[in-house]
């Protein structure tokens, strides 16, 4: 009987954790693609994410920014999206690029002025990769 109770308790704990991850990922648009998000995270030249962050499921990344392992346990997709879009809103001294903002930027090459690094869909793709169940469990 003790074994059955322990097994049920373990199942409940796991289901609760997965339901939390499911609730978070269901907040993302249906058009978001974890596969496209992974490809974007891997682009050293365009996004540079892997240069500064350790990211689950990707080759070894940098250590300049925080590790993104276990992100779903300490953040929501909306919070992560806001930080990636423009981390200056949360920390004006950040060195993280503003991926979805063109305001307040300096020394931008003429041909890139007025353009964001990411599109809103690309940002959703990245967040969908970071919050998929496979990559949120350390």
Angle, vertex CA 66, rays to CA 120 and CA 42, nearest 5: 50
Question: For 99-130, what is each residue's pLDDT tens digit?
Answer: 999 999 989 999 999 999 999 999 999 999 99
pLDDT of residue 1: 41
Instruction: For residues 49-53, give the mean pLDDT.
Output: 94
What CATH number did the domain enclosing 11 receive? 1.10.760.10
Tell me how many domains the chain contains: 1
- Percentage of the chain modeled with pLDDT above 70: 77
Give me the domain span that covers residue 87: 2-136
Helix 77-86 × helix 120-130 angle, to 10°: 130
pLDDT of residue 131: 94
Angle, vertex CA 99, rays to CA 87 and CA 75, nearest 5: 45
Banded model confidence at residue 133, pLDDT cuts 50, 70, 90: confident
């Amino acid at each position: 009987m003790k074994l059955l109770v322990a097994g049920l308790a373990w199942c409940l704990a796991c289901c609760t954790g997965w339901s939390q991850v499911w609730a978070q990922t269901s907040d993302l648009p249906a058009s978001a693609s974890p596969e496209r998000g992974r490809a974007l995270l891997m682009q050293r030249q365009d996004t540079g994410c892997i240069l500064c962050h350790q990211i689950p499921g990707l080759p070894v990344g940098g250590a300049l920014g925080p590790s993104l392992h276990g992100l779903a346990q300490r953040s929501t997709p909306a919070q992560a999206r806001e930080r990636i879009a423009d981390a200056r809103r949360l920390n004006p001294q950040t060195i993280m690029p503003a991926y979805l903002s063109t305001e307040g930027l300096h020394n931008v090459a003429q041909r890139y002025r007025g353009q964001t690094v990411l599109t809103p869909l690309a940002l959703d793709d990245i967040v969908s990769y970071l919050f998929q169940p496979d990559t949120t469990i350390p």
